[in-house]
Amino acid sequence: MLLLNLLLAALLPVAGVMASLIGIGHPLWAMPGVRTLVVPAPYAFSIWGPIFLLALAWGFWQARPAQRRDPQVARLRGPAAGAFGLMLAWMVAAQFTPNGWHLLAIMLALLVAALLAFRRAVAVPATTAGWRWIARPLFGLLAGWISAAAVVNLSGAAEAEGFGWFGAAPSLVAMGLVLLAAWIATAMLRRGRGDLWYAGAVVWALVAVIVANVTGRAPDPAVALVAALGIVMVAVASFLARRQSAGARSYPG
């Protein structure tokens, strides 16, 4: 599992540009059937850069002699490898197959793995540089971004498969999906001690949804407004969870 974490992390950047490297398929940014009202502005996807770098740093850090037999690191290796493997599977499938329910299924499995890794990471006090600047940021950003991306994938798969949301207006559907993403985030923040990395990734996605619905080709101010409400929900949930966590540490009895 130790070597698997390192190998899978090293493969992530390559998998992300595989279509361009071999000249077939379509780049991730050009995925068909995903231009819905909940898709963030394109710049938001740059978050994959820090995630890939942190994943590689994690791969090397967890393989160091000092971490090889650390039971807390060992508990993270399984869900981390699962998340990295599912990320690879999703990126490859997204570049070489049409959008659809199969991509959503992979993304939902990835969400489960990412949230499990996140819960285990935040359960460990960030008392060393490795936990503070590698494990916590990596699994917080990954879980937060995938929490939002899963909802985006749901909207894209539904559009690609012709699911009409029972005749509901696209704007109404988008507002419901944005609120779903915010609800998932608030639930995880309550269980994740209000982690700022997780909250930051979700806020990053929601801000980009606002940008897309204010400056895009077909702006929808209502969706932008709901995304702003989602940001408030995430911020409040993070603040309350962090205050509760701090109180619990101050009064252990």
The answer to whether position 29 is within a domain reads no
How far apart CA 223 and CA 171 sit, in angstroms, is 7
Q: Per-residue pLDDT for the chain (253 aa), expressed as one digit of tens each? A: 889 999 999 999 998 888 778 878 777 766 655 678 999 999 999 999 999 999 999 999 999 999 998 999 999 999 999 999 999 999 999 999 989 999 999 999 999 999 999 999 999 988 899 999 999 999 999 999 999 999 999 999 999 999 989 999 999 999 999 999 999 999 999 999 999 999 999 999 999 999 999 997 778 999 999 999 999 999 999 999 999 887 666 544 4
Which residues, including other chains, have CB under 8 Å from residue 75's CB and lie 6 or more apart? Answer: 120
Judge contact between 82 and 58, C-beta under 8 A. no
The answer to whether position 30 is within a domain reads no
Give residue for tokens 């269980």: 191
The answer to whether position 77 is within a domain reads yes
Total structural domains within the chain: 1
The answer to whether position 27 is within a domain reads no
Lookup: tokens for 228:
């702003």
The pLDDT, as a whole number, for residue 248 is 63
Q: Please name which of 28, 170, 42 lies closest in space to residue 99, comparing C-alpha atoms.
A: 28
Task: Indicate the helix (H) or strand (E) that contains 33.
Answer: none
How far apart CA 181 and CA 42 sit, in angstroms, is 18
The answer to whether position 26 is within a domain reads no
pTM greater than the 0.85 cutoff: yes
The pLDDT, as a whole number, for residue 32 is 59
The answer to whether position 142 is within a domain reads yes
The answer to whether position 220 is within a domain reads yes
How far apart CA 97 and CA 146 sit, in angstroms, is 20
Lookup: tokens for 61:
């850090």
Nearest-Å Rg of the Cα atoms of the chain is 18
Q: Please name which of 90, 85, 84 lies closest in space to residue 107, comparing C-alpha atoms.
A: 90
How far apart CA 142 and CA 136 sit, in angstroms, is 10
Domain ranges, residue 235: 2-21+35-250
